[in-house]
Structure 1
Amino acid sequence: MTALLSLQNIWVEYGDKVVLERVNLDIEAGSFVSIIGPSGAGKSSLLRVILGQEIPTRGQMLLDGLPLKPECGPDRGVVFQRYSVFPHLSVLHNTVFGLECAQAPLIARLFGSRRRAALAEAEDMLDAVGLSDSLHLYPAQMSGGMQQRLAIAQALIKRPRILLLDEPFGALDPGIRADMHALITRLWRDYSLTVIMVTHDLREAFSLGTRVLTLDKRRRDPHAPHRFGATAVYDLPLTKRMPAPEATADSITLDA
């Protein structure tokens, strides 16, 4: 079966510094891939390559077996650790903005029945992330957890096939973080997403993921540490023994 996303011999180099080398990954549709590794191992660089923010120095990416253009597109959504919301727009208008940009790229504004339909779709998405009572708030009036819910709504409003998460819950308090874990797991299932998440939290990686990848360097030269890049050194498929919304690190086993 053809993988949804295939990375073939991906390299990322900045001048003479090699960040990633020989990255070969096949990611199946519907999987939740957690990416872990030491700081500086190229985790965020890999996410930027998949998103299309960065062009790999070598290699190619395929989506459904076809070359993936090195540019951001509606098939990929992203949520960062820092809340990527517009401070001058309300919750509802933050969310509907993505639809307006997609449907009216020249003026980023819809009118009449098209605008009413877009607003209704945005309200449904905000209900899905638990913000149905906050439509007219502005980001400055919201907690960190609420702003991250809004960022997730922004990412999902255009129905991407792949959702990229770059340390999305790292700045949240433990209680709010647990709520966000339950939310992202439900959205992953409800919207049939393929999720790729970078995290430094091992428990988070194993609790949420169906697969855990470790990026690190296979080769090191103390005299020229910049000349070797990171790659996938471990690739662990996981099996959960209970429904994902209730999953914990103790409810996960490695596939044989």
Structure 2
Amino acid sequence: MSTLLSLRDVWVEYGDKVVLERVNLDIAAGSFVSIIGPSGAGKSSLLRVILGQEVPTRGSILLDGTPLTPECGPDRGVVFQRYSVFPHLTVLRNTMFGLECEQAPLAARLFGARRRAARAEAEEMLDAVGLSDSLHLYPAQMSGGMQQRLAIAQALIKRPRVLLLDEPFGALDPGIRADMHTLITRLWTEYGLTIIMVTHDIREAFSLGTRVLTMDKRRRDPHAPHRFGATAVYDLPLTRRPAPPVAVDESITLDGIGNN
């Protein structure tokens, strides 16, 4: 597979605190990269610089050989652990909102044929995530699993090339989590996505991923722990496609080994 995303000598620093240092990665198109590591290892910071929420202090990030713009672009979608949905909008309007902002950035509202086309596209996406019967519900009327399906629909409606997942299933019950594993695996295949997922669950990382990265610090100074950042200390390519999702064992976590 060809390289889609490249990180070259990426550093993230906040004042005198080094969070990431010397991160060098090539991520192939169509891969599913799971990122694990202890608390404070910069996993979420890595996602933020890829997303464009933060600019690396040093280094560069390339998409198809072109430097990424320092803002969240339509080529990258994101799903967080806490559902990033608009409580005052219905399921359908939540999903249409990204298209409306893109096509009508001032009014964030479409009319006529453009609105009908956006609605049809949103309905198709909601059907893909299993919410076709919930178009007119509000988030407060939905379960956590349904809200996370909605967040995934929001992220995919603009057809991103890279989908970033930041502990997306951590707040869900084990049974619902297993259903979400099945869903994200199907969407990854059907939409030809490249996925980068942060998780504390080792079983989840290996069952979903085609590659597992461990972020941690190579160097530590007990007198100045903030002066060394994390990087990819292990990089394990998996030679198989992801196994069928299994029920989550909540006792298997990296931190606890803890939470980021």
Q: Do both proteins adopt the same fold according to a TM-score greater than 0.5, normalized to the shorter chain?
A: yes
1:247 deviation in Å?
A: 4.9
Unaligned runs of 5+ in 1: 250-256
Structure-2 residue corresponding to 1:170: 170
Partner of 2:253: none
- For residue 245 of structure 1, report the CA deviation from its aligned partner: 6.8
- Kindly indicate whether residue 98 of structure 2 is the aligned counterpart of residue 95 of structure 1: no
Structure 2 portions without partners, runs of 5+: 248-260
Instruction: Using the TM superposition, give the Cα deviation of residue 119 of structure 1 relative to its aligned residue in structure 2, in angstroms.
Output: 0.2
Aligned partners of 1:152, 1:245: CA distance in 2, in Å?
21
Equivalent position of 1:126 in the other structure? 126
Please tell me the residue identity of whatever aligns with 1:59.
G
The 2-side partners of 1:107 and 1:7 are apart by 36
Which residue in 1 is equivalent to 2:60? 60
Show CA shifts across 1:89-144 (max 9, x none).
00000000000001111111100000000000000000000000000000000000
Counterpart in the other structure of 1:232 = 232
1:47-83 per-residue CA deviation (whole Å, 9 max, x = no partner) reads 0000000000000011001111111000000000000
Where does residue 151 of structure 1 map in the other structure?
151
The residue number in structure 2 matching 1:252 is: none
How many residue pairs were aligned?
247
Which digits, 9 at most, give the CA deviation of each residue in 1:168-211, with x for residues without a partner?
00000000000000000000000000000000000000000000
Contact 2:79–2:165 under 8 Å retained in 1: yes
TM-score normalised to the size of structure 1?
0.94
Sequence identity (%): 87
1:246 aligns with 2:244: yes
Q: Which residue of 2 aligns with 1:192?
A: 192
Deviation beyond 3 Å, 4+ runs, structure 1: none
How far is 1:246 from its partner?
A: 2.1
CA RMSD of aligned residues (A): 1.2
CA–CA distance in structure 2, aligned partners of residues 91 and 74 of structure 1: 20
Structure 1 residues 4-33: Cα deviation after superposition (integer angstroms, max 9, x where no partner): 000000000000000000000000000000
CA distance in 1, matches of 2:171, 2:208: 17
Decide whether aligned partners of structure 1 residues 15 and 181 sit closer, same or farther in structure 2, where only a CA change above 3 A counts. Answer: same
TM-score (norm 2): 0.93
What amino acid maps onto 1:230 in structure 2? A
Instruction: Please give the alpha-carbon distance, in whole angstroms, between the structure 1 residues aligned to 2:213 and 2:9.
Output: 16
Q: Whole-Å Cα distance in 2 between the matches of residues 2 and 35 of structure 1?
A: 20
Q: Distance in 1 between matches of 2:103 and 2:199?
A: 33
> What residue number does 2:49 align with?
49
Give the equivalent residue in structure 2 for 1:79.
79
Report what 1:140 is aligned to.
140
TM superposition shift of 1:239: 2.3
Match of 2:23 in 1: 23
SS of equivalent residue, structure 2 residue 39 = coil
Tell me the distance in 2 between the aligned counterparts of 1:248 and 1:174.
Answer: 10
Q: Is the 8 A contact 1:2 1:64 kept in 2?
A: no
